[in-house]
Amino acid sequence: MKIQSMIKISHIAPCGMNCSICRGYLREKNKCLGCREIDINKPISRAKCKIKNCIELKKNNLKYCYQCSIFPCKRMKNLDKRYRTKYNMSMIENLENIKKYGIRKFIADEKKRWKCKNCGSIICVHSGSCSNCGKKHL
């Protein structure tokens, strides 16, 4: 799977996560289709995600958390801290880049950032390895 055909606007979750680089999306068995996709087999953690199902997002018909008047909320700060610490990626930074440069530029940058230099496939944010050839990129 080449990265160029993998990242879509629908793969960017309200929290700023690029679902295309997530372990759940990249795995073969029990594959998650991403936070925005309708999938009755979606892992329970995605179905019950408090950020994705945030009342402020729904009430105000917002696509991304940065559009909310209370951004970044406590939940976003906690998620961001966990991802910065464990995976060297910031959800808040992702959302700020989407706000500043637009979703298309963000996706173009993500394609470069998460592309395996060895084979061109996607690097998994959770393992730091290419989803195709297994090369470590940390």
pLDDT in tens, 1-48: 444 447 788 899 999 999 999 998 898 888 888 887 765 565 555 556
Residues 135 and 138: their CA atoms lie apart, in Å, by 10
pTM of the shown model: 0.86
Using alpha carbons, list the distances in angstroms from residue 117 to 11, 57, 111.
Answer: 22, 37, 12
